[in-house]
Structure 1
């Protein structure tokens, strides 16, 4: 098992996390781990578009670069973050997930994930 796979497996094992996807800026999936519910290819395409829009908002409002974007929906939570300049991380979680714990676990692993994808 390579380092990227190990780190994604650790994240998908966090309570409430259903899917973790690393995608390129072009929307193509680089690596993913799932509890079997999601469609990594569809998530990749949507996240690349969504993160680009979120980054544009940050530039227009002069609030700096986006670190982590969180979207809460009626049935779940989606987090997205840039791993360097070329890779995006997306985490899909259940609506009852502990968002603080997921953010903490992701933050702890993001530097290693970024390095493993170089």
Structure 2
């Protein structure tokens, strides 16, 4: 878990600055109250987080361009994975219902593994370049 958390911190730092990323969601990221709850309940931020692409970026093109991070429905392991909820875990909901519950077409869930963080960042960067 230590290696995964080390990786996720570097990756989140990269993604939060990227122009094709609208939002990055991870434990303790959204409010002071959530930060306090997260600190009481866990010793770290874990290895699962979500990103939301800007509207002009295609989640399908982004996922298809990834070389290291694999598409899978999973809560994690030692390998890095990505899930597109709108077309995978929540595809049976209408587009309207997904929008109503706050699940955008550009939302992606990632689990970061123990691979080299710089390699993962390069993979994400090249895929983001191909997402438009």
Q: Same fold (TM over 0.5)?
A: no
Which of the pair has more CA radius of gyration? 2
TM-score where L is the length of structure 2: 0.29
- Normalising by structure 1, we get a TM-score of 0.31
Q: Which has the higher contact order (CA 8 A, sep 6+)?
A: 2
